[in-house]
């Protein structure tokens, strides 16, 4: 009889511990998923601007075709990578980030090459697209930061005691973060 009483008490203790922590973990997991969708949304916005930018640049006589090809290929590659929001591992985020980084580098080379074309720099359509692209890049930075914040909250919740017991019982796993791009810690070289 004593054993039954302890079993029932233990069951209710685990149940109350689980339900309190479980519900908040589900809420935090949903916040991470929602924020991931927002990150993908701002990357998609950037990808949608690229064809118009490339078309505008193509209009400039003798513009370097390789640069345009690189941007177009990088966009196609970046658009083909998707990450399952239920599997936001450090590896999957790193792969997504690497492909998006390649696109950013290609765009950077394109915009640097434009400096040699004064007619492009004076083209109102190009200037507007460039401004929209800069805005998209800023939104990407903000949304990545928000993603890391909600992920940190979620990861902390499932790793702290007694929540780690509930997380283990129900299969909650830590999520990956966006990390600084390679070389971001090195200061740029400025020469006059």
Q: Which residue has the higher pLDDT, 190 or 2?
A: 2
Are 164 and 46 within 8 A, CB to CB? no
Confidence of residue 53 (pLDDT cuts 50, 70, 90): confident
pLDDT at 139 over 60: yes
Are 9 and 57 within 8 A, CB to CB? no
pLDDT at position 13 is 63
pLDDT at position 21 is 87
Confidence of residue 186 (pLDDT cuts 50, 70, 90): very low
Share of the chain above pLDDT 90, in %: 53
Residues near 128 by Cβ (< 8 Å), separated by ≥ 6? none
The 3-state DSSP composition of the chain as helix, strand, coil percent (nearest 5) reads 75, 0, 25
Token duo for residue 74:
């990088």
Q: Which residue has the higher pLDDT, 140 or 8?
A: 140
Domains belonging to the chain, first-starting first, are 16-170 (1.20.120)
Question: What is the pTM (predicted TM-score) of this model?
Answer: 0.80
Q: What interhelical angle do 90-114 and 65-80 show, nearest 10?
A: 160
Buried b (16+ CB within 10 A) or exposed e, 29-55: bebbbebbebbeebbeebbebbeebbe
**27-41, 67-81, 162-176: which has the minimum mean pLDDT?**
67-81
Specify the 3-state DSSP secondary structure of 89.
coil
Alpha carbons 140 and 78: distance in angstroms, whole number: 14
Q: Which whole-number Å values give the CA distances from 41 to 34, 44, 53, 151, in the listed order? A: 11, 5, 19, 17
Confidence of residue 190 (pLDDT cuts 50, 70, 90): very low
Token duo for residue 58:
């193509």
């Amino acid at each position: 009889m004593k054993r039954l009483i302890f079993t029932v008490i233990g069951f209710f203790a685990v149940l109350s511990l689980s339900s309190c922590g479980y519900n908040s973990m589900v809420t935090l997991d949903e916040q991470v998923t929602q924020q991931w969708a927002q990150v993908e949304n701002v990357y998609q916005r950037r990808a949608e601007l690229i064809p118009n930018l490339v078309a505008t640049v193509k209009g400039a006589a003798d513009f370097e075709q390789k640069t345009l090809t690189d941007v177009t290929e990088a966009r196609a590659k970046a658009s083909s990578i998707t990450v399952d929001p239920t599997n936001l591992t450090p590896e999957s985020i790193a792969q997504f980030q690497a492909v998006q980084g390649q696109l950013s580098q290609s765009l950077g080379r394109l915009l640097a090459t434009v400096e040699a074309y004064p007619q492009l720099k004076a083209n109102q359509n190009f200037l507007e697209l460039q401004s929209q692209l800069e805005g998209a890049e800023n939104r990407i930075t903000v949304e990545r930061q928000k993603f890391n914040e909600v992920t940190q909250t979620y990861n902390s919740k499932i790793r702290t005691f007694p929540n780690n017991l509930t997380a283990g019982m129900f299969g909650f796993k830590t999520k990956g973060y966006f990390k600084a791009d390679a070389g971001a810690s090195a200061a740029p070289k400025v020469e006059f």
